[in-house]
Chain A
Amino acid sequence: MIERRILPKILHFMFVYLVYLFLYLPIFVLVIFSFNDSTVPFVWSGFSLRWFRALAHSPDLLIALKTSLIVASVSTFLSVTIGTCLVVASRWWRPFFLFNIFHANIILPEIIMALGLLSMFTFLKIPLGYASLISGHTLIGLGFVVPIVRSRFSELDPSLTEASADLGALPVQTFRRIVLPLLSPSFIASGFLVFTLSLDDFFIAFFCSGEKIQTLSVYVYSMVRRGVDPRINAISTILLAVSSLFVLALCFTKVLDQVFGQE
């Protein structure tokens, strides 16, 4: 009797355990072999940091890393700023389309967004480079910033802003002194999110960055196309470490359900 009731639970637990194993096996193998000493990729011959050192000596990779960081930082700043401004403005002006137009960012396949951007830039003869890439990443970022900040904003007590208006503050001052500080957790959360997304983005960078600049994802893509290379393991390990830190921070700010619950 007891066995009949426990068995499904055990099976259930094992199933979930296997799923997590499935999710982590490739990552583990990738990370472990990034510390492999041998030049032959799959044979373990000792612990070594040589591939990380090799990364430091590849100028192309360092340039790509610098590009990715710059693009991610600027995109994060822009999307958080623009998104927050928009959400705050909704307090006074809220047409029906204000928030609905941002749903499409998450629903459309990224390839369509990237191709659309490429076509438009080509048609308008806008040069492809930092500006085009940053615009694309900011666009994606907006799709996340607006829902996140909006849900936090809607939780704010409106009487605070009304009180400040009653006390004679102009909209500008209300914005600066009351609203902004209260919203700051959502800035930080969505900022982390957008930064990570921008670093990991491949589609937009592949199409819209032009030839003169190359982000990290595009660089890794061209390396992967050439076959197995332990340096890819090394850089993947670094990227994974950075992502984990961000995701850890995110989990503590509980924003995930705000993003996925908004559908």
Chain B
Amino acid sequence: MKILKRIFREDFPYLLAFPGIIWQLFFLYIPLLIILIFSFRNYSEGSGFVGWTFSHYSKILKPIYISVTLNSFILASLTSLLCLFIGYPVAYFLAFRVKKLKMLFLFLLVLPSWTNIIVEVYAWFFLLEKRGLISRILYSLKIISDPIHMVNNSFAVLLGMVYCFLPFMILPIYIILDKMDRRLFEASADLGGSKFHTIKNVVLPLSYPGIFTGFLLVFVPSFGEFAVPALLGGAKKAYWGTVIVDKFLLLRDWETGFALASIGIMFLIVFFVFAKILFFVLRKVFKKYKSL
């Protein structure tokens, strides 16, 4: 009893903090560790756990698995770049051109991303399908001779991905742009810079943190995506995410799945570090250019 009282008096902060810490450790970091450790496990059908091995990694490093990871990398890059080029103008518009209806525009922007990803995918399926709206419109405008089924190909997959992740690129950029000190623009204009010049040398470099965040929030999930390629792509192309899911649920080869997952995670970490360095360098370069 005395110990309980003492815990409540002095150790209360620990009692409060431990559940959260334990949750993170136990449900996130330890599973990651398990993925890493088990990717070296040698497990055979009949006899169970046999020993440690690198064989799963040597399997993963064959060209075929590299191509699969490359597929995901290309998809994630395309998605991120498209989101960036479409999203930056929208963020700019929201930050600088809208005064009164800002809340409404933001609400409308965020709403689609809070819907179920399966619902989003299905919505596009419904739209792009052979008997769907787009096909009908094109058919009645005589642009195509037969209704076409626009799903089950890479176009539909990319479309679906951009659709899911666009708001995640726009928001971080908007937040950075919104917080920017407007006086910087006035100063630049005062110093004789044109609008275009201001955008290139003031707005853009200052928004790099937002771009970086947006890139992170789009690239990482789209790298691991498997629902969109499976449903909109007809399961015809193998991506990193789909192969891992297959390994776990379809082909009972968990160890290879672990190895593939570990490689993917390591790749993402390296990419994250590389991107951060890249942005850092870009910023330095722009600063130097500006000072000339």
Q: Contact string, B266-292, partner A, CB cutoff 8 A, digits 1/0?
A: 001000100000000000000000000
Interface of B: prevailing SS: helix
Residues in A neighbouring B118, C-beta threshold 8 A: 202, 217, 220-221, 224
Say yes or no: is B29 at the interface (Cβ < 8 Å to chain A). yes
Q: How far is the CB of A125 from chain B (nearest CB, A)?
A: 13
Say yes or no: is B54 at the interface (Cβ < 8 Å to chain A). no
Say yes or no: is B245 at the interface (Cβ < 8 Å to chain A). yes
Is the beta-carbon distance between A109 and B224 smaller than 8 angstroms? yes
Residues in B neighbouring A82, C-beta threshold 8 A: 19-20, 23
Q: Contact string, A79-116, partner B, CB cutoff 8 A, digits 1/0?
A: 00011011011111100001001101111111111011
Number of interchain pairs (Cβ within 8 Å): 246
Q: How large is the interface on B (under 10, 10 to 19, 20 to 34, 35 or more residues)?
A: 35 or more
Partner of B224 from A13, A111, A136 at Cβ < 8 Å: A111
Instruction: Select from chain A the residue with minimum beta-carbon distance to B20.
Output: A86
Q: How far is the CB of B265 from chain A (nearest CB, A)?
A: 6
Contact A224:B122 (CB < 8 A) given known A88-B16, A109-B224: yes
Q: How far is the CB of B162 from chain A (nearest CB, A)?
A: 9
- Give Cα A115–Cα B108 distance, bound, in whole angstroms: 33
Residues in B neighbouring A220, C-beta threshold 8 A: 116, 118-119, 122
Query: How many chain A residues have a CB neighbour from B under 8 Å?
Result: 88
Q: Which of A6-46 contact B (CB under 8 A)?
A: 9, 12-13, 15-16, 19-20, 22-27, 29-30, 33, 41-42
Say yes or no: is A189 at the interface (Cβ < 8 Å to chain B). no
| Contact stretch, chosen from B55-63, B130-138, B185-193 | B130-138
Q: How far is the CB of B91 from chain A (nearest CB, A)?
A: 10
Partner of B125 from A136, A228, A261 at Cβ < 8 Å: A228
Say yes or no: is B90 at the interface (Cβ < 8 Å to chain A). yes
Is the beta-carbon distance between A16 and B93 smaller than 8 angstroms? yes
Residues in A neighbouring B93, C-beta threshold 8 A: 12-13, 15-16
B residues engaging A (CB < 8 A)? 8-9, 12-14, 16-17, 19-21, 23-25, 27-32, 34-35, 38, 86, 89-90, 92-94, 97, 103, 106-112, 114-127, 129, 131-133, 136, 163, 166-167, 171-172, 175, 209, 212-213, 216-217, 220-221, 223-227, 231, 241, 244-245, 248, 254, 257-258, 261, 264-265, 268, 272
